Amino acid sequence: MESTEESFFDKAMARYESGVEACELIKDFESITATAPNQSAGWTCLAWLQLLCNKNEEALRSARKAVKLNRQDPQARINLSLALLETNSKGVREHIEFLQKALFVVPDLKKELQNSIEDGLKRKPDWQALKKIKNWLEF
């Protein structure tokens, strides 16, 4: 990824972290994924934003792309699990089992994923699918 793309990604992430509404950032991440279609982080972020904005079918496509590009990314797996749950699709167990194994092998991931889940529940307090995943991961 070129430095201009990294800068745009970093600015969009900073806006998200400062509390900008998720739906306002979707266009930014659509541009990021159009410019750098093989960068999994852009797809992972786009899927998360789409999930927060109840664009579940779009999130499913974005999350699948993110996992395809980086099968080891735990956040991409959480997003795909959420999108599968939200669209009543099959295949959630595979991703939850991957996450459980990853947390066992790399315990440092726990805090990062807990922070992500807390952020999601802060932005979308009644997010039942995320509550299920939180419970399955025993956070």
Residue 127: which CATH number?
1.25.40.10
Q: Which of 77, 43, 74 is nearest to 61 (CA)?
A: 43
Count of CB atoms situated within 10 Å of the CB of 130: 25
Contact 70, 42 (CB under 8 A): no
pLDDT bracket for residue 39 (50, 70, 90): very high
pTM of the model: 0.93
For 88-133, write each residue's pLDDT tens digit: 999 999 999 999 999 999 989 999 999 999 999 999 999 999 999 9
Average pLDDT over residues 13-29: 96
User: The domain containing residue 39 runs over which residues?
Assistant: 3-136
Q: How many domains does one find in the chain?
A: 1
Q: Token digits for 17?
A: 């972290």
Whole-number Å distance between alpha carbons of 44 and 42: 5
> Which residues, 6+ apart, have CB-to-CB distance to 48 below 8 Å?
22, 59, 75, 79, 120
Q: Across all residues in the chain, what is the average pLDDT?
A: 94
